[in-house]
Amino acid sequence: MTSSNRRERELARAKFERQQQRRVDREEQARSRQRIIAIVVIAALVVAGGGWAVLTLLGDSSESTTAAESSNELDEAVSELAEELSAQGPIVDGCTDPVPVRADDISFDSAPAPGTEQDGTLTLATNCGDIVIDMFGDLAPETVASAAFLADTGFYDATACHRLTTAGIFVVQCGDPAGDGTGGPGYVLPDENLPAEGEANYPAGTVAMANAGPGTAGSQFFLVYEDTTLPSGYTIWGQVSEGLDILRSVADAGVADGSGDGLPAQPLVIESATVSGAN
């Protein structure tokens, strides 16, 4: 009995030490990521010469022009940062190294016509696991038709979720092939299924469209991982039915530069997007 107890204590101690080492490794990777992004931010400020345009929290700026957009040097710095972050490997258990993100080279002349779908699911296969979205085709038919179309054409494949907010508003923003908040599909969508103003009007699990103002939604959307209060201006078109834990784990890892709004420290890349069950 004594030998058995000793062995159990040794195993427990070894497990504890492994857990502590993993925590130390994750913290060191996070610090390293923060140093990298700080260097890039400083370089970006020099390149842009202070000509930054401040975007709204959940903005999709694909229809606007800023000094940063026109700076090739800044684009290169952002790309280098993304490569550095990916090269350091995952810092969240269950995540793997993501596939390389695709070029922002797909565009369409017009939005697809809404179909007759009343339901269906959109599955985002990410490097951290599957995120399944139940789509509200009856409440947001044009938005759901667009999401299904973009998924079917491969628009969302190999795109990074480029924004995480952890201070007061709790969302992960995805769907931008440019990876910096400026990308879009080449068309805009009308607003649909807007919630009432009020406390926690975008509850945990909500999937809504980012935009740059009324009637400007494109391909970017945000996934709410904790109850959030926002102005009633973002189309709600789905609900996360699986994978909310993934979003929360990515959020727990924090923002790469240590702030409450920016590039996730743990890269989250949509490797493929598929639609099923629509009728």
- In tens, the pLDDT along 66-96 reads 444 444 555 565 556 555 555 556 789 999 9
**Residues in CB range of 273: below 8 A, 6 or more apart:** 122, 123, 124, 125, 150, 151, 156, 157
For the chain, the domain total comes to 1
Would you place residue 39 in the very low, low, confident or very high pLDDT band (cuts 50, 70, 90)? Answer: very low
The answer to whether 263 and 84 have CB atoms below 8 angstroms apart is no
Distance CA 270, CA 175 (A): 8
Read off the CATH number of the domain in which 45 is found: 2.40.100.10
Nearest-10 crossing angle of helices 72-87, 2-48:
170
Contact by Cβ (8 Å): 36, 87? no
What domain range is 46 assigned to? 1-279
Mean pLDDT of 189-214: 98
Binning pLDDT at 50, 70 and 90, where does residue 109 land? very high
Helices in the chain by DSSP H: which ranges?
2-48, 72-87, 141-152, 244-253
Residue 60 has pLDDT above 90, yes or no: no
What percent of the chain clears pLDDT 90, i.e. is strictly above it?
64
